[in-house]
Structure 1
Amino acid sequence: MKVLVVIALLAISTCIVESSTTDDSYLSSCNKFFYKSTAPKGFSSGSLKYICQRYEGTFHFATLYDTSKRIPLYSAYTIDEFPCSGKQPSRRSSWFIEPELAGRDKSADMDADKESDHDWVMPTQAINDDYHDSGFDRGHLNPNFHHCGNDRTATFSLTNSIPQDPCFNRIVWYHIEVETLERMENSCAFDKAKRYIIVGAVPSADQRIPFNDTVIHDKPDKATGRVNVPEYSWSMSCCDASDSNGAHQSSWSGVIAQNKAGGTVENFASLVKMERRLQALYGYKGAIKLLADGCGDGSADTDQSFG
């Protein structure tokens, strides 16, 4: 009997570790996506859920998701391979949903967005139809072209998506994503380098999709204003050289941009200043801490960007 009890307890423990939306799992299964295995601190608005984004049984990146606004506040990932070798998966026209946000009895893997599941999916997250005729793109936080193979496919999750102005997404933000990848390829490709990225969104006060005249599957009460349209997107890159035996220095780079055509773009030479700017934009009383020890940011007034 004691043996059976021990086996049962081990089984329960395993389920808890593998359940990707629990805090414990986030730290144990997703810490590899964060510099110094430490997730950002200070995010406190809305109804927040940690997601270890899992596709075909493998964890691919980490997300902090606001189920009330139905957008991610950030996604964190590593760049592990460039350039990609061989044929890569094509872009998906229909994006995945995250079943576990609806309950722990659901699949731990991201899954197809099916109309038959909408009754239990829609209360906690966006669906593809939210974006239909909205005038906004499904904008990646973790961009697909920063990855290869299944890592690339896994980015097509609506829990990794925010409504982005098309001109901003396809021109301004795309340029920022390209610059981030090029910076990593040019300045952080040395032996034992580790490349960490966090991309986030600052919710707007009142802009949401779908609009008032939008009906999803003849359910107008569930359609109006479900998904927040963020006012800002931001990106922070860390090149960790701590294992290079002093041959290289750790360094970081950060940017915040308005989610609209012709919006402001702010580049930061100080991580502390970027964190303070985000704290003000989010309206938090407590401080935001993106990186455990600054990733090479020596002081608030020292430029420690890549290059």
Structure 2
Amino acid sequence: MATSACFALLAVLGCVPLAHADVTDHFHHPPGCQEFFYQGQPPSGFVGFSQTRLCQRLDGRIYFATLYDRSARLPVYSAFRFKYQAEGVPRGNGTDKTWKYEPQLVDPLSDGNMTLLTPAALRDPAVRRSQAVDGTYPLEVGGVRYVRGQLNPANLQGSRPSRSATYALTNAVPYPRPFHQAGWRPLLRKMAARVRRECGRSPAFLVSGAARQTKGKELWVPPRGKGRSAVPRLLWVAFCCGQGGASGAAVGYPWANGRLALGPLGELGPYETREVSLRQLEVALAVQMGRNSVRIYSGGCHGPASEN
């Protein structure tokens, strides 16, 4: 893409102006991004070399925040509000399920809104290097049928625009269809029921994540190509009620074979899911990612939370 080439040249010359952007060094800018984090504080213990912070914007509105792994073309975590509806935006019906890409991962000077994934974008080498555009799903690899899921699920959002915003490649996660149908989707329904019951009318702050394989051979879908994505070794989700401090979490193993060791939690078998406590999740993530400490809600979940 000519724009990407021009930007690279300007970067060498040292005269690139700062972008206004939603690809950001921290989640406190642009305004409106940190409201998706409990007490305005992002999780700790996650940031790595190839990761980028994204404030996910559609049609001028930010709907959730993502820590994105460029090398895996996979979101590390997504922070969002349960049944979120932006102020002044009609609730609407249905969902626009057209997939979109994040243009600022291609050119930091581009517009901050996610953009429709056109045939031209699919062919753009810069898009293919930064986001998982390859594959027509469902896609079969090694006898396993994969679907393109969402780390921040559309059905946990509260309006047509917020649901439509979840159809972004930076929110896309590949996993086997049987895992989705029999394991992860029913688990998310249970978690949604818990949020409704335990949080009531209090704002609920959710964080969902995908952890990569850290040892041995990593699994990719499709197996080859610049636009492929890593298949996560572990999926997880947590919630914290803004008032009262109620919390909960769950994990899932989206592989068709092997077993996943999670320290004190024991093991998960193929396609297995399990509800756990918030603290158990943090310990398991530290084990899986090889970190000394992981905190989903950096100050703890104890309420009340600022609504920013």
TM-score grouping bracket, smaller chain normalisation: 0.7 to 0.9
Provide the identity percentage: 26
Looking at structure 2, the residues matched to 130 and 104 of structure 1 have their Cα atoms a distance apart, in angstroms, of: 28
Looking at structure 2, the residues matched to 16 and 209 of structure 1 have their Cα atoms a distance apart, in angstroms, of: 35
Describe the SS at the equivalent of 2:185: helix
Alignment of 1:31-46 (within 5 A): 31-46=34-49
- The correspondence for 1:100, drawn from 104, 120, 138, is 104
Asked which structure has the greater RCO (Cα within 8 Å, sep 6+), the reply is 2
| Residues 1-28 of structure 1, C-alpha deviations (whole Å, 9 max, x = no match) | xxxxxxxxxxxxxx96841011245544
Query: What's 1:72 paired with?
Result: 75
Looking at structure 2, the residues matched to 17 and 31 of structure 1 have their Cα atoms a distance apart, in angstroms, of: 19
Describe the SS at the equivalent of 2:23: coil
| Residues 109-146 of structure 1, C-alpha deviations (whole Å, 9 max, x = no match) | 00111232322211111115365634311111111011
State the shift of 1:231 in Å.
Answer: 1.1
The runs of 5 or more residues in structure 1 that have no matched partner are: 1-14, 213-220, 242-248, 298-307
Query: What's 1:144 paired with?
Result: 154
CA contact (8 A) 2:19 2:108 kept: no
TM value normalised by structure 1: 0.77
Q: 1:253 to 1:16 in 2, by over 3 A?
A: farther
- The correspondence for 1:112, drawn from 105, 116, 120, is 116
Q: Does 1:175 align with 2:164?
A: no
Q: Does 1:122 align with 2:128?
A: yes
Query: What's 2:54 paired with?
Result: 51
The runs of 5 or more residues in structure 2 that have no matched partner are: 1-16, 257-269, 304-308
Query: What's 1:203 paired with?
Result: 212
CA contact (8 A) 2:183 2:272 kept: no
TM value normalised by structure 2: 0.77
Query: What's 2:265 paired with?
Result: none
Query: What's 1:294 paired with?
Result: 300
Describe the SS at the equivalent of 1:88: coil
Q: Does 1:162 align with 2:173?
A: yes
Larger radius of gyration: 1
| Residues 29-88 of structure 1, C-alpha deviations (whole Å, 9 max, x = no match) | 311000010000111345000000000000000000000000000111002459xx9751
Describe the SS at the equivalent of 1:129: coil
Q: 1:198 to 1:107 in 2, by over 3 A?
A: same
Looking at structure 1, the residues matched to 70 and 120 of structure 2 have their Cα atoms a distance apart, in angstroms, of: 20
Q: Which AA in structure 1 matches 2:94?
A: P
What count of residue pairs does the alignment treat as equivalent? 260
State the shift of 1:254 in Å.
Answer: 0.9
Describe the SS at the equivalent of 1:174: helix
CA contact (8 A) 1:26 1:50 kept: no
State the shift of 1:201 in Å.
Answer: 0.4
CA RMSD, 1 decimal: 2.5
Query: What's 2:198 paired with?
Result: 187
Q: Does 1:259 align with 2:254?
A: yes
Q: Which AA in structure 1 matches 2:208?
A: V
